[in-house]
Amino acid sequence: MGPLTGFKVIEMAAIGPAPLAGMLLADMGAEVIRIDRLGESDLGLKRDPRFELASRGKRSVAVDIKTPAGRDAVLRFVRGADALIEGFRPGVMERLGLGPQDCHAVNPGLVFGRITGWGQQGPLAQSAAHDMNYIALTGALDAIGLADGPPVAPLNLVGDFGGGSTFLVMGVLAALLKRSRSQEGQVVDAAIVDGVGALMAGVHGQIAGGIWRPERGEHVVGGAAPWNTVYRTSDGGYITICAIEQRFFAELLKRLEIDPASVPDRMDRVNWPSLRSRFEAIFAGGTRDHWCRMLEGTDCCFAPVLHASEAPGHPHSIARGAFIEVDGVRQPAPAPRFDRTPGAVQGPTISRPGQHTDDLLREGGFSDEEIAALRKAGVVGD
């Protein structure tokens, strides 16, 4: 059931990138145990828990981690774990007695994964912030949007999940790979600003080379070129054309029955406004479905702009099994794919914090008497 089968990960309940990282690890076969904070509602499920997809395949134990007994209970889980991931502000886990030194004292081989926006050190490390703040500081936000408008937030895909969850998972997996040779764990400091900075490597290379245009909406990858942008269709839909290479642009002209001799030098920016106007008029003359029938599957580098609810029904998504149904809820299938040890959703979403408390405590070596005592003292529950 995935390449991480046999690995156990402790996830400290949080919001943002940590839960998605836990989901990705679970989809790859890891046993993920979420430590929910007993008695605190700010992290509780605010919607129908069936739709909290980041909790799929995990189990939950609710613990009052601010008590000595609660801390000790978490450390007992840590003893048998391969990794722990947490998304608190720097210093919180240390104050709880669950920091890297505390955890490594009971499990020297533990990979301790930390995800924050600003990182564990630096003048902003203790400041509250969210996705847009992080991508703003890295320069990513400034580059996204139209020339005559403000920056446009790309949901929280670039910061929280692209620069955050992805790099946390990559760091944890790399540390586990290193541990297989050294037998020693280590701390992974995954900061969203660092991850987004790494994603911006190509941009910084162009800046260093003096070829990056600082004006928003003026760079080719940002939609400035008429052959790499979005066009509106007659039914109010949108399509994308990304005919960047000359051979793909030639194919586009052929499919649209445009005489290449009538097209001025497409690499000269002076010609971009007139060429854009020409394409706008052409694509406005047909519906989104019309252009799909004409251009989809060709080397024009074409795709329709689908609403998220439409994506699962696209023939390519269906053919690849890109979406699955679990307990009546359609959701993305595990990614990436493995040919020998394919990942899979390990189970349904967590129905409530602490849903598996007693079972997990028993598996962790707690006797029924100990569990009863912890419940009576209000240290564990649901």
Question: How is residue 89 written in tokens?
Answer: 């502000």
Nearest to 349 by CA among 23, 9, 4: 23
Question: In the annotation, is 72 catalytic?
Answer: no
Question: In the annotation, is 290 catalytic?
Answer: no
CA–CA dist 112, 186 (Å, integer): 6
Q: Are 217 and 147 in contact (CB under 8 A)?
A: yes
Long-range contacts at 274-280 (CB < 8 A, ≥ 24 apart) = 275/226, 275/227, 276/226, 276/229, 279/226, 279/227, 279/231, 279/241, 280/231, 280/232
Q: Are 143 and 219 in contact (CB under 8 A)?
A: yes
Which residue of the set 64, 160, 194, 358 is catalytic?
160
CA–CA dist 274, 363 (Å, integer): 69
Grouping H, G, I as helix, E, B as strand and the rest as coil, residue 314 is: coil
- The DSSP output letter for 82 is S
Which residue of the set 72, 102, 130, 142 is catalytic?
130
Helix intervals (H) in the chain: 17-27, 68-79, 92-95, 100-106, 131-138, 166-182, 192-199, 201-208, 246-255, 272-283, 288-295, 315-320, 357-363, 368-376
Q: Are 173 and 184 in contact (CB under 8 A)?
A: no
Give the type of residue at 67: T
Q: Are 225 and 272 in contact (CB under 8 A)?
A: yes
- The DSSP output letter for 261 is G
Catalogue the active-site residues. 130, 160
